[in-house]
Structure 1
Amino acid sequence: MSTITTSPRRSPLNGSLKERRLPRWAPAATIVVAVALAVGLGLGLDITSKLQWGLMAAIFFVVGQYLLARQVEGPRQAKNGLVSSLVWVAFLLALLPLFGLLYYTISKGAGVINGTFLTHSMNLISPNQVGGGLYHALIATLEQVGIATLVAAPLGILTAVYLVEYGTGGPLAKAVSFFVDVMTGVPSIVAGLFILTFWIVILDQQYTGFAGSLALMILMLPVVVRSTEEMLKLVPNELREASLALGVPKWLTILRVVLPTAIGGITTGVMLAIARIIGETAPILMLVFGTDVINTNPFKDPQSSLPLYVYQQYSAGTDASEARAWGGALVLIALVMLLNLVARGIARWKAPKASR
């Protein structure tokens, strides 16, 4: 019985048994050199913008990594490293505005946030006066967004169920899908103008928080429909077919199989829609009208909101009002982050569990 032996494959790059690789510390060293070159060039050319220094350092890093990899590892690995470096640089550049916004908002607004700021309104507080709070705006925002969500989320989810499960390829489904796409690009001020004309001018209703909720609902609905539609399309057809083969009606299959499978993505889509509307100012300014007192009834008399509060306080132009504006912006960001954490928890809790 003869044995077959195979010889080790040689590398097509350099012909050796072991390919040459850059050491692990090479990227860190390249970053240090790139930063040093950017700082030196910035000081030499009298460039004061730190952002330009960062862009130059990123360019030096990408070019340096490519040249080192081409010299040591060969052209093929150098091209792979070039693309990887570009991806990392793009990722870091995308994070810069986010971290810059968080840092600036926290540094400007953290000092004004206290118990009084969160539990008092601006009633009888002048723009020059220190004190006051955003309790009236916070309550109004929660009520307005809550009403819009209670209306838009069920409508959006049911519309997406129809588009995916019942109206595939039908003329009504195509028309609904077209109008959903159109509504996705509608500016917020157009939605506010529509509710202002129809609800307040034609029907002669008051400026209330509910009027603002109607405009927010229009902005929220297409986001819920599109996100839910994509999540339902990701549910495997085998699950539907298995349920139908067991004699389960289609509506019960959707209720017990399809929706629970996609509940994580649906919840995330609803939260994205809430994040889309919670910072809207134009329709609130037109419909809610604004007030400095606490009004917990969204169906009677004007209300305020956090975006409107930030706008009004910053427009006042005083040191005290600008500090309150930054505090309101920080509370708004924290509220959006809290809602996203809650959504992730609900999605993980309701997600289908694998059987052991």
Structure 2
Amino acid sequence: MRALSSAHPDAVLLLRSLQKGFVRALALAPPVHASVGRPLSAFLVLERWRDNPLAEHLQEHHPLLADERVDVPDDIYKGRPEAAPTLVPMPEHWAADAPGDDTLALLNTMALALDAARLQSRRRLVDQMLCAVVFSAATPARIALHWKHLGFQISPEDGKDKLFRYQDARVMQRVWPLLDEAQRRRWLGPVTAWWSLSQPWGPWAGAEAFATTEAAAGGAAEATEWFVADRPALPHVSTPDSSDEALHRLLRLDQWRAAHTATTGNRLWLSMASRKISTRHQPDGETMTRLLRQGAELGLTQESDLCEFVDASWPAHRPGDPVVQRDWSAPRDAALLQQALASMHATGARTGEAGGDPPAGFASSLYAAAQAQPPHPFTPRKG
């Protein structure tokens, strides 16, 4: 086998780009790598080992690499390590210009894995088994230990311990642009660069959302690219707090909410696609981000309430109609919003009481508030 002929051309291009990125990283690697006795290496990051076609392929065709895998030793996966995120080291010369047959076989596996990953990313809401490829001079055990701490976060919303899906590219790409350099260094820890496939964040065409094959999607999706998170250079004055406590409290409230609404946004676009709302009449990525943030700031923490808020803010449009976003600062809508939120708060407070009312959703509360308001005064048309 002397060529990567069985994978989609886009996947081969992704692999070539990854190899070139690793070669550049090797050339720029600071002398510290030599001092710790380990060169810069690349590692596959898998969502989990169990029920993962890529893991099964590695086990069958590349057993030596599979045996070197390191699972994240998080307590939540105690007794079932195969359910944890997993690191698989790449061989030393995987990015060489003239790889041997064994390495070429692995590269073919990589190209096929990237092909599957790019299709999974386009489906948006399905499991993505190949999460990323990371570069680091640390041992995989050291990286996995860092991720054990990263995956345990204290929510800035309620102060409770929560599982944080750092390995999920959809989560990372929603929050990474909002982090400052100190937070980025804490997130990456011993990792120098984190490469994940770019995740769609924008209107979703029905032809793509409900296609059963890539050909059936009609070529609606753009070519997948890499999203690269590089570790910032060391600050000149001070280094960020790298204690476990600082890592457990990595995110601010707005960042936490952004990380946890990636799925919500895509479910909303899927719902719009199912209602045959064209991409021109769906909110773009920036608008969706703003609406989700606005809903969260209003205290709508349940996904169902957030979805209903976005739907109310962005009514479905027929083809040819102008796209008009609801203005919640307008007097009538502002009053409706406040009444709806007050009603939700009141029923929520009574939920814990014996025989209390079930919590009211945003849509039903908004409808009740609209029904209680007097109708608009009729203004006769002049002329």
Instruction: State the TM-score, normalizing by the size of structure 1.
Output: 0.20
Structure 1 or 2: more strand by fraction: 2
Larger radius of gyration: 1
Instruction: State the TM-score, normalizing by the size of structure 2.
Output: 0.19
Q: With a CA cutoff of 8 Å and minimum separation of 6, indicate the structure with the bigger relative contact order.
A: 1
Structure 1 or 2: more helix by fraction: 1
